[in-house]
Structure 1
Amino acid sequence: MHAAAITSTAEYLALVRRRRAYGGVLTALFVVLMTTGWRAADARNAGSFADGIRHVFDFPAEILTEAARDWANLPGYLGQYIPSLIETLNIAAVSTLLGGVCACILAILSARALAPVAALVTPIRRLMDVMRAMPEIVIALVLIFLLGGGPVPAMIAITLHTAGALGKLFSEAAENADLKPLEGLASVGAGWLARIWFGILPQVAPNWSSYALLRFEINIRASAILGFVGAGGIGYDLRTTLQWGQGRYDQVVAIFVLLFLTIVAVDALSDRARTRLVKGGQAA
């Protein structure tokens, strides 16, 4: 008994030493990669990071100084850019709606236990991988080249990315659903569509709605960012005011204030809605 205890202690200590050795090797590798990567990036940069870091707050200070000087103009600018903000919200809402509908279809077709054609599961999963991997800004730049500037390229780009991202989340939620209702519906002769509609959707609807609301918040930020490349919305106005430079910085602050208040409001509302959806779904 004593010998067995000594053997167990020795094995435990050996395991601890191996873990420490692995941790030390990984830490050293991480430090080497960070150091070499930092030096390579700093060497390729237009200026030294050490010299530039001292001026990192110069531009924000210049913007805030001018905005403080012309603070009386801010209320008027807030009203001026509301139409652009509404356009940004419309882009995000339509993209979320269209992407969510596509994601529902892709999720059902890619869920192994639910797909009507098993051979389509892997191709559809790879398709969603491609849709998620392509950044919205890359898709938008290509579409702007083909279609011209405006909200349509942004809407298509965000819709494609949303369909891929939500399709993955929806598919996982559908695969975790209880399959017993499907068996009961099948026993009374219900078809595949009826089994999905009455057996799966009531289970996954709260989570799917929660994911969609979260994605809507993300799409608001994405549509504002895409405005910088000419895809319309308030992001385009922000790029224009920044390009004009001094004399327009009070407008820049007004746009940032509008974006901040909108994102905070949408986040608060969607958080409450997601909480009620998920809790309601669990209670049901």
Structure 2
Amino acid sequence: MVDVAFGPEQGQRPDLSNSREAYLDMVRRKRMYGGILMVIFVALMASGWMLADDRNAGGFWQGLHQVFDFPSEVLSEAWEDRANLPALFWDHIPALIETLNIAAVATLIGALAAMALSLLATRGLARWPRLIPLFRRTMDALRAVPEIVIALVLIYILGGGPVPAVIAIALHTGGALGKLFSEVAENADLKPVEGLASVGANWSQRMWLGVMPQVAPNWLSYGLLRFEINVRASAILGFVGEGGIGHDLKLAMQWGQGRYDEVVAIFLLLFLAIVLIDRVSDHYRHKLVKGH
């Protein structure tokens, strides 16, 4: 009689003892490989740390006790001049608005580019399937180069100001969001797309009517998250002459003593702005994804 549960041969049964030994052997091998990788990782970290410490201008351990000297000096001076903080807040609001504008425009331009690149690089949706690797490598290249490197190059071409910062952040945003948008689009249901194709819709119509309604909530969620990141990036780019509140912070820190109250005011203003943006965008991301 054939045993349909365990095989066509009569009387065939799995050898549970061998299966148990094989499972335990697999677990032991995984633990051994994991331990070897951990040892290699720790060794690389230790060697890299020692190499960096040797090449550093000063010893890390010798200067460790001074790590809080500068922050304490800044905070003590700011506390003595704390009455000036409200006026300093007000003075730097225009620079903060410029920083937010840079981040908003760069996010919008980058998101539009990411939408096009993601659809062109998604299997099953691409307009030209043979060019999918080209569009994917384009997104890889855009997000591989840091914003500050792009900005430094553009300064020599366009000069200082917000325009190089917008272009630099937009390029990096296009690559980063393009990857995320593409992953969302890959999970879209293709039945609406196939239905639109059967009635003669072109590629743009299939994407707009068949794909966009499915991916829009997640795309908007990722776009809001990227806006938070770009606010920080635009503030950092201010240190290389790209305007905004980062430029004001750089000038205040260069003056040194006597301007530390301005440094603290700018930090607090930027911190409060980022917290507010984070809370608002988190609220709307939750509504977009969860629907309530």
Q: State the TM-score, normalized to the length of structure 1.
A: 0.95
* Number of the residue aligned with 1:186: 197
- 91-100 or 101-110, larger mean C-alpha shift: 101-110
Q: 1:119 offset after TM fit, Å?
A: 1.9
Taking the aligned partners of 1:35 and 1:259, their CA distance within structure 2 comes to 36
Q: 1:4 offset after TM fit, Å?
A: 3.6
* Number of the residue aligned with 2:106: 95
- 236-245 or 10-19, larger mean C-alpha shift: 10-19
Q: Does 1:257 align with 2:268?
A: yes
**Residue type at the aligned position of 1:75:** P
Q: Does 1:105 align with 2:99?
A: no
Q: Does 1:169 align with 2:180?
A: yes
Matched residue pairs, number?
A: 281
- After TM superposition, list the pairs within 5 Å mapping 1:226-245 onto structure 2: 226-245=237-256
* Number of the residue aligned with 1:220: 231
Which stretches in structure 2 are left out of the alignment for 5+ residues?
A: 1-11
| Structure with the largest fraction of helix | 1
Taking the aligned partners of 2:280 and 2:231, their CA distance within structure 1 comes to 14
Taking the aligned partners of 2:45 and 2:222, their CA distance within structure 1 comes to 35
Taking the aligned partners of 2:74 and 2:215, their CA distance within structure 1 comes to 47
Taking the aligned partners of 2:16 and 2:120, their CA distance within structure 1 comes to 55
Q: CA RMSD in A?
A: 1.6
Taking the aligned partners of 2:16 and 2:124, their CA distance within structure 1 comes to 48
Specify whether residues 186 and 4 from structure 1 end up closer, same or farther in structure 2 by C-alpha distance, changes over 3 A only: closer
Match of 1:136 among 138, 142, 147: 147
**What are the Cα deviations for residues 127-167 of structure 1, in whole angstroms up to 9, with x where unaligned?**
11000000000000011121111111100000000011111
Highest Rg: 1 or 2? Answer: 2
Specify whether residues 226 and 182 from structure 1 end up closer, same or farther in structure 2 by C-alpha distance, changes over 3 A only: same
- SS of the equivalent of 1:81 reads helix
- After TM superposition, list the pairs within 5 Å mapping 1:1-284 onto structure 2: 4-280=15-291
Which stretches in structure 1 are left out of the alignment for 5+ residues?
A: none
Specify whether residues 36 and 6 from structure 1 end up closer, same or farther in structure 2 by C-alpha distance, changes over 3 A only: same
% identical aligned pairs: 64
- 10-19 or 22-31, larger mean C-alpha shift: 10-19
Taking the aligned partners of 1:8 and 1:109, their CA distance within structure 2 comes to 47
Q: 1:239 offset after TM fit, Å?
A: 0.4
Specify whether residues 26 and 185 from structure 1 end up closer, same or farther in structure 2 by C-alpha distance, changes over 3 A only: same
Taking the aligned partners of 2:26 and 2:128, their CA distance within structure 1 comes to 48
Q: State the TM-score, normalized to the length of structure 2.
A: 0.93
Q: 1:193 offset after TM fit, Å?
A: 1.4
- 64-73 or 103-112, larger mean C-alpha shift: 103-112
Taking the aligned partners of 1:58 and 1:33, their CA distance within structure 2 comes to 31
Taking the aligned partners of 2:126 and 2:285, their CA distance within structure 1 comes to 27
Taking the aligned partners of 2:82 and 2:276, their CA distance within structure 1 comes to 23
**What are the Cα deviations for residues 22-58 of structure 1, in whole angstroms up to 9, with x where unaligned?**
2222222122112211111110011111011111111
**Residue type at the aligned position of 2:53:** D
